[in-house]
Amino acid sequence: MGTESNLINDNTVAGEQSSSAFKLVGFNNFIRKNPMSDKFTVKSFHHIEFWCSDATNTARRFSWGLGMPIVKKSDLSTGNTTHASYLLRSGQLNFLFTAPYSPSISTTTTTGSIPTFSHADCRNFTAKHGLAVRAIAMEVEDAGTAFSVSVANGAKPSSAPITLGCDDVVLSEVKLYGDVVLRYISYKNPNTDPTVAASNFLPGFEPVEKTSSYQDLDYGIRRLDHAVGNVPELSPAVDYVKSFTGFHEFAEFTADDVGTSESGLNSVVLACNSEMVLIPMNEPVYGTKRKSQIQTYLEHNEGAGVQHLALASEDIFRTLREMRKRSGVGGFEFMPSPPPTYYRNLKNRAGDVLSDEQIKDCEELGILVDRDDQGTLLQIFTKPVGDRPTIFIEIIQRVGCMVKDDEGKVQQKGGCGGFGKGNFSELFKSIEEYEKTLEARTIPT
Ligand SMILES: [Fe+2]
pLDDT category at 7 given cuts 50, 70, 90 is: very low
- Contact between 304 and 298 under an 8 Å Cβ cutoff? The reply is yes
Q: List, for residues 152-176, the tens digit of each pLDDT value.
A: 999 999 999 999 987 689 999 999 9
Q: Spell out which residues have Cβ within 5 A of ligand 1, the ion.
A: 310, 394
Answer whether residue 20 shows pLDDT above 60.
Answer: no
User: How large a percentage of the chain has pLDDT more than 70?
Assistant: 86
Whole-number Å distance, alpha carbon 365 to ligand 1 midpoint, is 18
Residue numbering of the annotated binding site: 226, 308, 394
Q: Which residues pair with 400 in a beta bridge?
A: 375
Stated pTM of the model:
0.89
Whole-number Å distance, alpha carbon 228 to ligand 1 midpoint, is 7
Report which of 138, 159, 303 is spatially closest to residue 226, judged by C-alpha positions.
Answer: 138
42-207, which class in CATH? alpha beta
Position 12 scores a pLDDT of 31
Q: How far apart are CA 353 and CA 293, in angstroms?
A: 32
Whole-number Å distance, alpha carbon 148 to ligand 1 midpoint, is 30
- Contact between 86 and 62 under an 8 Å Cβ cutoff? The reply is no
Point out the least confidently predicted range of 18-27, 84-93, 167-176, 369-378: 18-27
Q: How far apart are CA 254 and CA 353, in angstroms?
A: 28
**Mean pLDDT in residue range 166-192:** 90
Q: List, for residues 264-303, the tens digit of each pLDDT value.
A: 789 999 999 999 999 999 999 887 777 888 999 999 999 9
Residue numbering of the annotated binding site for Fe cation: 226, 308, 394
- The answer to whether the Cα torsion of 427, 379, 362, 391 is positive or negative is negative
Position 11 scores a pLDDT of 33
Q: How far apart are CA 343 and CA 341, in angstroms?
A: 5
Q: Which residues pair with 140 in a beta bridge?
A: 42
- Contact between 405 and 323 under an 8 Å Cβ cutoff? The reply is no
Query: CB-based burial of residue 353 (10 Å sphere; 0-12 exposed, 13-18 middle, 19+ buried)?
Result: middle
Q: How far apart are CA 219 and CA 217, in angstroms?
A: 7
Whole-number Å distance, alpha carbon 309 to ligand 1 midpoint, is 7
Residue 437: count other Cβ atoms within 10 Å of its Cβ. 10
Whole-number Å distance, alpha carbon 112 to ligand 1 midpoint, is 33
Position 105 scores a pLDDT of 86
Whole-number Å distance, alpha carbon 207 to ligand 1 midpoint, is 32
Q: How far apart are CA 94 and CA 11, in angstroms?
A: 31
Whole-number Å distance, alpha carbon 182 to ligand 1 midpoint, is 19
Q: How far apart are CA 342 and CA 310, in angstroms?
A: 22
- Contact between 152 and 412 under an 8 Å Cβ cutoff? The reply is no
**Residue 253 vs residue 52, higher pLDDT:** 52
Whole-number Å distance, alpha carbon 173 to ligand 1 midpoint, is 24
Whole-number Å distance, alpha carbon 421 to ligand 1 midpoint, is 9
Whole-number Å distance, alpha carbon 281 to ligand 1 midpoint, is 10
Whole-number Å distance, alpha carbon 263 to ligand 1 midpoint, is 17
The yes or no reply on domain 221-438 and CATH 3.10.180.10 is: yes
Q: Measure the CA dihedral 298/129/382/428, to 10°.
A: -10
**Mean pLDDT in residue range 357-372:** 94
Q: How far apart are CA 22 and CA 115, in angstroms?
A: 35
What's the maximum distance between 2 C-alpha atoms anywhere in the chain?
66
Whole-number Å distance, alpha carbon 179 to ligand 1 midpoint, is 21
Position 23 scores a pLDDT of 76
Whole-number Å distance, alpha carbon 199 to ligand 1 midpoint, is 27
- Contact between 64 and 148 under an 8 Å Cβ cutoff? The reply is no
Report which of 82, 146, 157 is spatially closest to residue 118, judged by C-alpha positions.
Answer: 82
Q: What is the per-residue burial (b if ≥16 Cβ within 10 Å, else e) of 152-172?
A: eeebeebbebbebeeeebbbb
Average predicted confidence (pLDDT) for the chain: 87
Whole-number Å distance, alpha carbon 398 to ligand 1 midpoint, is 12
Whole-number Å distance, alpha carbon 209 to ligand 1 midpoint, is 34
Whole-number Å distance, alpha carbon 420 to ligand 1 midpoint, is 7
Position 367 scores a pLDDT of 96
Whole-number Å distance, alpha carbon 227 to ligand 1 midpoint, is 8
pLDDT category at 82 given cuts 50, 70, 90 is: very high
Q: Which letter does DSSP use for residue 182 in this model?
A: E
Report which of 146, 192, 194, 201 is spatially closest to residue 173, judged by C-alpha positions.
Answer: 146
Q: How far apart are CA 246 and CA 235, in angstroms?
A: 15
Q: How many residues in the chain?
A: 445
- The answer to whether the Cα torsion of 65, 66, 70, 76 is positive or negative is negative
Domain pair 42-207 / 221-438, same fold = yes
- Contact between 67 and 326 under an 8 Å Cβ cutoff? The reply is no
Position 434 scores a pLDDT of 66
Give the CA radius of gyration of the chain: 21
Whole-number Å distance, alpha carbon 226 to ligand 1 midpoint, is 7
Whole-number Å distance, alpha carbon 138 to ligand 1 midpoint, is 18
Position 152 scores a pLDDT of 98
Whole-number Å distance, alpha carbon 280 to ligand 1 midpoint, is 8
- Contact between 43 and 138 under an 8 Å Cβ cutoff? The reply is yes
Which residues, including other chains, have CB under 8 Å from residue 210's CB and lie 6 or more apart? none
Whole-number Å distance, alpha carbon 118 to ligand 1 midpoint, is 30
Helix (H, G, I), strand (E, B) or coil at 394: strand
Domain boundaries defined on the chain:
42-207, 221-438
Report which of 75, 241, 215 is spatially closest to residue 156, judged by C-alpha positions.
Answer: 241
Which residues, including other chains, have CB under 8 Å from residue 75's CB and lie 6 or more apart? 55, 83, 84, 85, 86
Helix (H, G, I), strand (E, B) or coil at 125: helix
